[in-house]
């Protein structure tokens, strides 16, 4: 069983690398803009892949999502040309809010530390 997990993880990593390259060089949709792929989860049968992404352009997430859904077929076809798999997974793009949450929590911690230092220095 661990061997299968390892292969699934390697396939997910390969898909992430190839998709990042395709998004950077081949996809010309201006709605997508600058996104970062944060991870890929592939189903055990390789039929589906959740592609997690984040963007600094948070106010245009709906347009980014629409652009990614529109490009999914093209990206899947291109993956089929680059990766040797019996089944190329259907791509499902999911916004990853963890980076945004992490930045917000870090800011809150910094603010709390600053307030604490000001309180102790008074």
Question: Is the CB of residue 75 less than 8 Å from the CB of residue 21?
Answer: no
Strands 48-55 and 35-42: antiparallel
Q: Is the model's pLDDT at 3 over the cut of 70?
A: no
Q: Would you say the pTM of this structure is higher than 0.85?
A: no
Provide the token pair at 33: 């803009």
- Give domain 2-96's CATH architecture: 2-Layer Sandwich (3.30)
Q: What is the pLDDT of residue 1?
A: 45
Give the pLDDT confidence of 65-101 residue by residue, as tens digits.
Answer: 999 999 999 999 999 999 998 889 999 999 998 877 8
């Amino acid at each position: 069983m661990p061997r299968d997990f390892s292969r699934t993880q390697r396939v997910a990593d390969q898909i992430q690398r190839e998709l990042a390259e395709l998004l950077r060089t081949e996809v010309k949709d201006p709605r997508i803009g600058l996104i970062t792929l944060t991870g890929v989860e592939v189903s055990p049968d390789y039929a589906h892949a959740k592609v997690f992404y984040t963007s600094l352009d948070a106010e245009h997430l709906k347009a980014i999502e629409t652009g990614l859904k529109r490009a999914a077929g093209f990206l899947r076809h291109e993956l089929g040309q680059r990766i040797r798999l019996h089944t190329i997974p259907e791509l499902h793009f999911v916004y990853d809010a963890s980076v945004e949450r992490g930045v917000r929590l870090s800011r809150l911690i910094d603010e709390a530390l600053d307030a604490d230092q000001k309180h102790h220095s008074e």
